[in-house]
Amino acid sequence: MSRLGRSLRLARALSNTARAATYDWLGKFPPAPLMVYVELTRRCNMKCQHCDIWMTAQQHENLAASEVPGHRLLEVLTGLAPKGLLAVDLFGGEPLLRADLPEIIHGLKGAGLHVTVTTNGTLLTKERCDSLLTAGLDQLLVSIDGPDAATHDAIRGKPGTFAKATAGLQMFSEMAAGRARTGVNTLVCRPNLELLSQMPELARTLGASQLRLLPYHQCYPFNQFVQEDKLMPRNHDIAALATALRLVMERAGQMGLHTNSRTYLDGIERWYRGDPLTVRCQAGLTVCDINGFGEVYPCYTLARPAGNIKTQEFSEIWQSANLTSHRKESKGCDKCWQSCYIEPGLRLSLSALWADRQAVLHDVMEYFLGHKDRA
Ligand SMILES: C[S@@+](CC[C@H](N)C(=O)[O-])C[C@H]1O[C@@H](n2cnc3c(N)ncnc32)[C@H](O)[C@@H]1O
Ligand code: SF4
Ligand code: SF4
C-alpha cells in the first residue's frame, strides 16, 4: 500500500474514532458502530468448561440452516463501512467450521474493513491458513488457556487440543509474516491463575504480537448449563490473581506484545473482588454483536435481541426503541468486565485521548489497521 493510502486509512480510523467518542459525549449514538462482533455459527468442535456453546447444538436440529448466509452478512456489514464501521471480529462457535469463511473475509476486505478471526485453532491446516491469508485476513486470534497441555486441555474438555492450537498458531504466524498479525486469547480463571505469567513467553514463541486476557464470566447466555463452578476465582485467589496480572503486564511490555490496557487489567482484580466499577461501557454505541441466528445485541450479557438482520435492515435495528433502551441500560451498567465492550471505552474515548494521545494512536492502529496498512 502506498504511503498516501496508509495515511488516508489512519486518518479515517482516527476521525471515525473521534467522531464516535464525540457522539457519546453529546449524549447521541453514532450512525454505525466502529466494531461488530459476528458469531458466524453456534457449531463447535470443543467441549469447553467455560462455554456452553457446544451444548446448544444438542438443542437445535440443524444449526447450520439457521445461520445467516454469507451474502446477507456481507450486504449488512459492507453497507456499514461508509457510515463509520472500521472492523469486524468473526467468531463463533468455531468460525473455521463455516466453509464460506474465506469468501466472507474477502468480501469484508473489499469494503476496506479490518478483519479478525477468533478461533480455537484446532482446525488450522496449511490449506486453511493459506485460504485465510489469500482472502486478506488481517488478524488471527487463537484461544490458548494455559502454557501447558494439561491446563489448556482440561479447560477445553478435549485431550490433544493444546498441541493442535499451538501448532496451528505457529504455522499461521510463519505463513503470515508481513501479511497478517496473530494473537493469543487467554481465559483468566481459577485453574490457570498461577500460570498466567508464562503466557507472554508462549505467545512470543508462537510468533504472536498480541496477548489478550479474558476474565472468566458466568453471565454469557452460553453459560446457562454451568452447574458447579470450578472456574470462578474466589476471594482467597485474589492475591495470586493480582501478582499474575502484574507479571503479565511487565513481561508483555518487555517483549513488545500488545495487551490489555493497564486500567482494564487493574479492573479484573476489582471485578472479582466485587468492587464497583464505573466506566462508560461501549455496548450498543461503538460496538455490538450479531449472533449465530442473525440477532443483533448491544452486548451478550443483557441478552435481549434488538432485532434480526435476516428480516430487518441494520439501520432500522440500530435506531430502534429497543436499542435505545439498551443504551440507557448500558450507561453506568456494571454487570460485567468483558474486554470487548469495556476496553474500547477505556482506550478510544475522549478522556483517553486527553490523557495520552500516543497511547490512543497506538491502540487505533492495533484495532483498526492491518499489518499491510502499516508496513
Ligand atoms: C466464544 S469463543 C468463540 C471462538 C472460538 N471458538 C474460540 O474458542 O476461540 C471466543 C472467546 O470467548 C472466550 N469465552 C468463552 N466463554 C467465556 C466465558 N464464560 N468467560 C470469558 N471468556 C469466554 C473463549 O475462551 C474465546 O477466547
Ligand atoms: S470457547 Fe470456543 S471452542 Fe470453546 S465451546 Fe465456546 S465456542 Fe467452542
Ligand atoms: S457492562 Fe453491562 S451493558 Fe456493558 S457489556 Fe457488560 S452487561 Fe453489557
Residue with cell 448500558: 330
303, pLDDT greater than 70: no
If you average pLDDT over every residue of the chain, what do you get? 89
Please name the residue whose Cα sits nearest to atom 6 of ligand 3.
336
Q: What confidence tens digit (pLDDT) does each residue in 105-115 have?
A: 999 999 999 99
CA distances from 352 to 35, 175, 277 (A): 18, 35, 17
Please name the residue whose Cα sits nearest to atom 16 of ligand 1.
51
CB of 180 shorter than 6 A to ligand 2: no
The stretch 222-227 carries a mean pLDDT of 58
Please name the residue whose Cα sits nearest to atom 7 of ligand 2.
93
41, pLDDT greater than 90: yes
CA 239 – ligand 3 centroid, Å: 26
Q: Which ligand does the CA of 119 lie closest to?
A: 1
118, pLDDT greater than 60: yes
CA distance 53 to 66: 15
Q: Tell which atom from ligand 1 comes closest to the C-alpha of 53.
A: 1
Question: According to the model, what pLDDT value does residue 297 have?
Answer: 92
CA 324 – ligand 3 centroid, Å: 14
Question: According to the model, what pLDDT value does residue 227 have?
Answer: 55
Residue with cell 467441549: 47
Terminal Cα-to-Cα distance of the chain (whole angstroms): 8
Phi/psi at 229 (5° precision): -90, 105
Asked if 164 and 192 count as a contact pair (C-beta separation under 8 A), the reply is no
CA distance 20 to 271: 27
CA distance 282 to 349: 10
CB of 341 shorter than 6 A to ligand 1: no
1, pLDDT greater than 70: no
Q: CB within 6 Å of ligand 3 — which residues?
A: 281, 283, 299, 301-302, 330, 333, 335-336, 338, 341
CB of 216 shorter than 6 A to ligand 1: yes
CA distance 70 to 66: 12
Q: How confident is the model at residue 280 (pLDDT cuts 50, 70, 90)?
A: confident
Which grid coordinates are listed for 339?
Answer: 474486554
CA 335 – ligand 3 centroid, Å: 6
Question: According to the model, what pLDDT value does residue 279 have?
Answer: 75
Q: What is the DSSP code string of 101-117?
A: HHHHHHHHHHTT-EEEE
pTM as predicted = 0.94
Least confident of 14-23, 69-78, 143-152: 14-23
23, pLDDT greater than 70: yes
